[in-house]
Amino acid sequence: MNLNNLPPRVKLVEVGPRDGLQNEKQAVPAAVKIELVQRLQDAGLKEIEVTSFVSPKWVPQMADNAEVMAGIVRAPGVRYSVLTPNLQGFEAALKSKPDEIVVFGAASEAFSRKNINCSIAESIERFAPVVQAARAAGIYVRGAMSCTVGCPYEGEVAPERVGYLAGLMKGIGVQHVGVADTIGVGTPLKVQRAIEATLKHFDLNDVSGHFHDTYGQALANTLISLQMGVWQFDTSVAGLGGCPYAKGATGNVASEDVVYLLHGMGIETGIDLDKLIDAGAFVSDFLQRKSGSRVATAMLNKRNA
Ligand code: HMG
Ligand code: MG
């Protein structure tokens, strides 16, 4: 591992509007989600996970998926992605013209059942026609792999389970996978092993990190991934979020914190940190909650001093 061999440029996929807000108890109007997306793209984010086409009974906060997709003002060069767990979700999503869809599976059987109501093998059977239809329509397909280091129901997850899922995803034509630490229990060497298992099936350029920050390890996990050459990460503005089927899990690592880390190491992101902080302040003010980003908190304190 070589600290001097870090990628010169990193792409962040902003997942705040989807992963960040999906678990939010208070109603968040579509207009707020639309403005959040606008502020994120104005801050320089080039890929935004906007919403999910899942069952509104399972995740009520995403029930306004079509309204939000219709309301965003698309900027050239920005990619808008949505989650689609099955053909029903994909067909609904298609009308919204996403640039990219995400099928989401788990390295742990128990989490697969809790999150999408089927086994890992069944999930792959459901994803296969979605992937095929998306690729036929020219829509890029990303796969999210949950619980790649730990599961809220099964505990520690072995790297072999991650490799198994990555192989299944590759086999059905998924083009890129995200290695997710859904409940934020991972530490760097465990994350490294999960990524190594994934790299047996996917090229380094087709792998990203998706780290929740429940135990405060997400920046360390990001750093070790960077040292492995990973240059794509999902992050959530103001550290919003959590998964409804992973109790106690907090949000993804805050986008502001990752941008600060990267810029501090001379790694380009194309993101304007001040504007990103404003986007985070906008949504935190709406939710009447303190930002989950340490960097945003520090910089807002400095601005107000
Ligand atoms: P199911 O109940 O097994 O589905 O749910 P079903 O096919 O048996 O259908 C049952 C009902 O759901 C029917 O309606 C369908 O129409 C409806 P009813 O006849 O009862 O009125 N339905 C749908 N409605 C809207 N959109 C759809 C859809 N599919 C069926 N696409 C299902 C299976 C996957 C739909 C369900 O389990 C579900 O929606 N789960 C969502 C879970 C979710 O969104 N979790 C959070 C996102 S994943 C995540 O956060 C992790 C990630 O960030 C990475 C990480 O951190 O790990 C990505
Ligand atoms: Mg997540």
Domain ranges of the chain: 11-304
Mutation choice for ligand 1 from 24, 52, 54, 114, CB with most ligand atoms inside 8 A: 54
Fold of 11-304: TIM Barrel (3.20.20)
Nearest CA to ligand 1 atom 24: 55
Residue 2: is its pLDDT beyond 60?
no
Answer whether 41's CB lies under 8 Å from 14's CB.
no
- For residue 147, the CA-to-ligand 2 centroid distance in Å is 9
Cβ neighbours of 266 (radius 10 Å):
8
Per-residue model confidence (pLDDT) at position 174: 98
Per-residue model confidence (pLDDT) at position 97: 98
Task: Single out the residue of 63, 84, 22 nearest to residue 242, CA to CA.
Answer: 22
Rounded mean pLDDT, 2-7: 77
- For residue 303, the CA-to-ligand 2 centroid distance in Å is 31
d(C-alpha 204, C-alpha 213), whole Å: 23
Question: Ligand nearest 208 Cα, by number?
Answer: 1
d(C-alpha 118, C-alpha 131), whole Å: 18
Structure tokens at 48: 């935004």
Residue 243: is its pLDDT beyond 90?
no
Structure tokens at 141: 């397909």
d(C-alpha 79, C-alpha 49), whole Å: 8
Q: With cut-offs at 50, 70 and 90, classify the pLDDT of residue 56.
A: very high
pLDDT digit string, tens, across residues 129-166: 999 999 999 999 999 999 999 999 999 999 999 999 99
- Rounded to the nearest integer, the mean pLDDT of the chain is 96
Rounded mean pLDDT, 210-236: 97
Rounded mean pLDDT, 293-300: 98
**For this structure, is 118 an active site residue?**
no
Q: Is 246 exposed, middle or buried (0-12, 13-18, 19+ CB in 10 A)?
A: buried
Q: Is 84 exposed, middle or buried (0-12, 13-18, 19+ CB in 10 A)?
A: buried
d(C-alpha 105, C-alpha 214), whole Å: 20
